[in-house]
Structure 1
């Protein structure tokens, strides 16, 4: 990966990224170092070594992944659905998904970084994939704010501060103080292979594991 590409993915200037590569005395937060490690697709060992060199704690070290220890019933539920379906944890990391969802959200669920907010606000592809990015981003953030108090406050605060520092749009919309219930509704996407696709999104409830959100999308 070229320096320019890595810098663009991380949301930083090529000059700053070059200085970091050269070992110059530049300020780099743990959150930024985590994004660089993700952009470079570092292995677990390489990532650990990077943070040890920087004498920082990896903010993603305890972040659940698609292979995390989920309740078995939660993990397998999306696979039983015939429509795109995925599960979000309290920080809105996708922790389970079926093949239909991985095909639909190819720029998100097939990546190492599976946090929905990071995808919406930091991934360049999200702005073309989401049919109306501004409205979608505003809604997603308002929905997250409404449920964020249920999760680990320290982790939520760290995620919010990271996104406020990396995304001017997140910072702007965060100040709106809007909250919305996550109730689903019509969703429109511009898929790179399938073109324009329309769905009705539903949010079924896990009665036993209420900390997880199940999201299903039925083609219209």
Structure 2
């Protein structure tokens, strides 16, 4: 017999509470830097200790474990995951049980490019390739990308971000033969991506910075244009190599939600200046 939607939600809340309790009971106070105290009757941490570590109320945390009908935000779930020292698989499971997108969890944690992906892009000798984070920060790149676009290692902070580079770097603008079209398409893709992280302070800070630094970004951002990850052709007017034409392939990194792998496959190499 199939359960009703209400029964399914109740079962999910119970599973969520059971999972929280199991992770709490496996931790010791010493593991999270708390004193052991005396007369500890329950295994692992107490509820009030988890609440303290996560920055939430004890009663509210108790309701979560009891499976009551409360809806923790992505930020609260990330705080609970940190307090309970969950690994990436456990974090994803926690968000799934809470019926929240795991994409939102990654916004609160640092991004690490898988070693296998780094080795793969390093092995690409003729194809510029790089990895973008959820906010389009440039996380990894190969020697071919440095040859075509410049050394990303010389950029720091917000400057090592593809949208920042696209809209504030005169050198990067001059590289792109069709900057106007590329910039508008990229902005629409970025807006579509940023919808997953509404309220994220890092996104808001970057958008505010670009609104101040770029007249084009300031004019185009309010249009609300959106588009999903098309593969496209870009023409590069390189200072020493002449006109280069690349087919861009934009791939999701499934092990790291929000991360993108960009491969630029050469189509035309010309001496046109």
User: Per the shorter chain, which TM-score range?
Assistant: 0.5 to 0.7
Question: 90, 94, 97: which is aligned to 2:138?
Answer: 94
| Contact kept? 1:94, 1:109, Cα under 8 Å | no
After superposition, residues 18-167 of structure 1 pair within 5 angstroms as: 69-82=112-125, 83-106=127-150, 110-112=154-156, 113-151=159-197, 153-167=200-214
Question: Residues 90 and 150 of structure 1 are in contact (CA less than 8 Å); yes or no, is this contact kept in structure 2?
Answer: no
Q: Bigger relative contact order, structure 1 or 2, given CA contacts below 8 A and separation 6+?
A: 1
Alignment check: 8 A CA contact 2:149 2:172 kept: no
Secondary structure of the 2:234 match is: strand
Residue 140 of structure 1, CA deviation: 0.8
Q: Decide which structure has the larger Cα Rg and report it.
A: 2
- Residue 146 of structure 1: how far off its partner (Å): 0.7
Q: List runs of 5+ in structure 1 lacking aligned partners.
A: 1-61
Contact 2:192 2:228 in 1 (8 A): yes
Distance between the aligned counterparts of 1:108 and 1:133, measured in 2?
Answer: 19
Residues 84/105 of structure 1: CA separation in 2 closer, same or farther (3 Å cut):
same
Instruction: Tell me the C-alpha RMSD between the 2 structures.
Output: 2.2
Look up the SS of the partner of 2:155 in the other structure.
Answer: coil
Q: SS of the residue aligned with 1:150?
A: helix
TM-score under structure 2 length normalisation? 0.53
Bigger helix share: 2
- Tell me if structure 2 keeps the 8 A contact 1:84–1:98: yes
Matched, 1:168 2:212: no
Hey, which bits of structure 1, 4+ residues long, moved more than 6 A? none
Aligned twin of 1:218: 265
Q: Name the CA shift for 1:69/1:107 in 2 (closer, same or farther; >3 Å).
A: closer
- Residue 193 (structure 1) aligned with residue 240 (structure 2): yes
User: TM-score under structure 1 normalisation?
Assistant: 0.64
Count of matched residue pairs: 156
List gaps (5 residues or longer) in structure 2. Answer: 1-107, 268-273
